[in-house]
Structure 1
Amino acid sequence: MNPPVYTPTDQAPADPGATDDMPATRPVGYRSGLVHAAVTRHLRDAMARIDVAQPQYWVLNRVNGGAAGARAVVREGTDDEEYVAALEVLRGMPADVERDGDS
């Protein structure tokens, strides 16, 4: 087996001058990382309040029929159409990145 080959990439820093009215210039990796951290923290805090660990929560979630309360907080202020659109975009990004890596 050959060791992995390191290939440096040309990484441009995020534009520090980007403003809120320029959403297309915002770095998706940074933003998705913030979302991941916030949602994970919220779910862990919710589990801690009822004194369960994640595997126990999965079982309770299945037995109870869902974790509507925790999901409702994460989706607060976002209607179904916006939520689905965001998920579709996020779902497609890994495939775009992998496809680009093949070129």
Structure 2
Amino acid sequence: MTIWKVSDDWFDRHTTQDLAYRVRVRVITPNALDSAWARIVEEHGSDDDGVVPIGGAALIRVNDCEAEAVSGGEDALDSLEWVVNDVLSEALKGVEVLVVAEERTLVIDEM
């Protein structure tokens, strides 16, 4: 199931590795994120903050009904699309979901 599609604008403007992307998905079906999240964590593990790193992206549980996928770097869009449309959508198969936010951010390293 395809939850989200990378916009042509994002593809066209992905010209630097300094861009980070975020997609927030809201699960409409009550309590469905609990079981889906448990499966994702069991399969991929999570860090001390509950973040699930998956390849070049990560999944973050925001609240009882929302999760965010984040990614940055050269392959950010491919990684983001994979984590949303393969990992998250597989765990949420048969569940009603809605993309509620998309964000592209320029990350500047101030070192």
Rg larger in 1 or in 2? 1
Query: Per residue, is there more helix in 1 or in 2?
Result: 1
The structure, 1 or 2, with the larger RCO (C-alpha pairs under 8 Å, 6+ apart) is: 2
- Structure (1 or 2) with the greater strand fraction: 2
Mark yes or no: TM-score above 0.5. Answer: no
TM-score by length of 2: 0.29
